[in-house]
Each structure stands twice: as C-alpha cells, then as structure tokens.
Amino acid sequence: MLFSRTFYLTEVKRQLRNPYTLAFTLAMPIAMYLLFGANAAYADSSAGHGNVAFYVMCSMAAFGAATAMSSMCSIAASEVGQGWGRQIAMTPLSIAGYAIVKLTTALSFSALSTTAVFLVGGLTGAKADDAWRWAAVAGLILAGGLIFGLFGLGVGLAFNSDSAAALASISITFFGFFGNVFMPLEGVMLDIAHFTPMYGYVALVRWPITEGVLVSGGSDELWVVLLNVLIWTALFAALTRFGVLRSRRRR
C-alpha cells in the first residue's frame, strides 16, 4: 500500500493542533511579512518586476515553506525510528507509502503557508508586474522547499528524536538569517551568505522579480544561485545517507 487517506487526514489534523507548527509555518511568516513588508515605508518602492512588499512576501513564504518541510520531515524520520515505525511495519503500508504520506503532509503545509502569506500579501499591497510572477514564485517555493525536506530527513535520521526536532528548527532560523532571507545583508556578511544553504533557494524564489539584482546593490549570476542550490542538495543528500546508515546501526 502506498497511500492511506485516513493516515494523511490524521497527520494533517495532528499538525493543525500542534502549536509549534502553527506558530512557525503560519503565524511567523505572516507577522514578519507585515512587519518588514507591508508596513515598511519603502513597501511600494520597486524591487524589479514587483514592489518591495512583494519581495518581502516571497522571502517570508519561502522561509515558512522551508520550516514546514524541515520540521515535518525530521519528525517523520524520528517517528519511524521509534516504536511507531515498528507498529506501522506490522501493517500493509510500505516504507515508501509512509514516506509518500508524510511528504504529502509536509507539502500540503508548505502550500497552506504559502497561500496564507500570499493572501495576506495580496490584501496588503504586494504587487507584481504580471500575474504569472505570483505563480512562478509559488512554484519555486514549493519545489525548492524539498531541499529542506531532505535536510529535515537527514537530521531526523542522524540524531535522536529529542534533539532532532530542535536542531532542525534552530538550523532553519540560522539559515534564514545568514541566507539573506530576512533583512538585506551587505559587505562581508553578504559574501558569506552566498555559501549558506538558504541563499540559493531564496534568491531563486525571488528571481521572477529581481532577476538577480540585490537590494544592497550589485547582482547575482543565475549559475551562482543554481550552484548553491545544487551543492546544498548534494550535501543534504549525503547527510541523509549518513543518517540512514546510522539509524540502521542503532537498531
């Protein structure tokens, strides 16, 4: 069996009543957007093919999606390593089926988070030149969010369940600060930012608006952004592989 509707709906219900999930994947991105985007003095200035409010909206939605993906995937990996995984192993649901349901849940939450931030953005003056730019940004957020799903999976497998969830969420916040996600970085900080995991992802998400132009001046080449995404995907895949080996040894 590869999918169970009851399991999926129960997982969604679990997340909806989890205060941590609601705070970090819904409330926080919206609040940060309102603070730094909609209510900023420069909200309506141009950021390329959209205004600054739209630019901030993209960043916060991307952060919300990355948080949802990493925390839910790390929890999924922790749970399967504990007794619940053995319980599920006594049913026709395969491990692939388990992964599909958990990934669908995480993607559903990323989509929910993105929709909520975009909805608030649309209502509070975030503007882009064309409608397709909204769709393109949303698509990039959801697809790129998978990288952080991989990260969460690796952390969940490599570390024990207590530390994994905390580690995944703290790391994501760090990645956000040093990845030029929240406030525009300059100088040395910006140089360092190019090498951090969320820089490529969020730069790619903003590409339909900025086409690589940076708020603090200058611009990025597309290959730099893509290379960052590729390298970090490879590194997170290696972490996941290490986690798989380690969790196997633990058994």
Partner 1 sequence: MHTQSTPATEQLAPSDQAIEITGLTRGFGSGERRVQAVDGVDLSVRRGEIVALLGPNGAGKTTTIDMLLGLSSPDGGTVRVLGQSPRQAVASGRLSALLQTGGLLSDLTVAETVDVIAGFHSASARVPEVMERTGLTSIAKRKVSKCSGGEQQRIKFALALLPDPDVLVLDEPTTGMDVVARRNFWQAMAEEAGAGRTIVFATHYLEEAEQFAQRTLVMNRGKIVADGATAELRSSLGGRTVTATLPAPIDQSTVGAILDELKRAGLLAGVQASDMQIDSAGVMRVRTAHSDALAAKLLALGAHDLEIVAPTLETAFTTLTQDAGE
Q: What are phi and psi of 36, to 5 degrees?
A: -95, -15
Which residue, 104 or 173, has its beta carbon nearer to partner 1?
104
Minimum CB distance to partner 1 smaller for 6 or for 188: 6
Q: For the CB of residue 84, give the shortest distance to partner 1 in the complex, in Å.
A: 5
Nearer to partner 1, 79 or 186 (CB): 79
Please, what is the minimum distance in Å from the beta carbon of residue 173 to partner 1?
24
- Give the binding site for partner 1 (CB under 8 A): 1, 4-7, 10, 13-14, 17-18, 79, 82-84, 86-93, 251
Q: Which of 161, 142, 206 is nearest to 180 (CA)?
A: 206
* Whether the Cβ atoms of residue 70 and residue 173 lie closer than 8 Å to each other: no
Q: Which two tokens stand for residue 129?
A: 């030149």
Q: Shortest distance, CB of residue 19 to partner 1, whole angstroms?
A: 11
Q: How far is CA 247 from CA 9, 77, 85, 148, in A?
A: 28, 10, 12, 20
CB of 161 to partner 1, least distance (A): 11
Q: Which phi and psi (to 5°) does residue 183 adopt?
A: -115, 145
Q: Which two tokens stand for residue 169?
A: 């969420």
How far is residue 48's CA from residue 63's CA, in Å, rounded to a whole number? 21
Chain-centroid distance of CA 27 in Å reads 15
Q: What is the DSSP letter of 94?
A: -
State the minimum distance, in angstroms, from the CB of residue 7 to partner 1.
5
In the complex, the smallest distance separating the C-beta of residue 18 from partner 1, rounded to whole angstroms, is: 8
Decide whether 162 or 221 has the Cβ nearer to partner 1: 162
Q: Which is nearer to partner 1, 27 or 93 (CB)?
A: 93
Give the nearer residue to partner 1 in terms of CB position, either 16 or 170: 16
DSSP string, 65-122: HHHHHHHHHHHHHHHHHSHHHHHHHTSS--HHHHHHHHHHHHHHHHHHHHHHHHHHHH
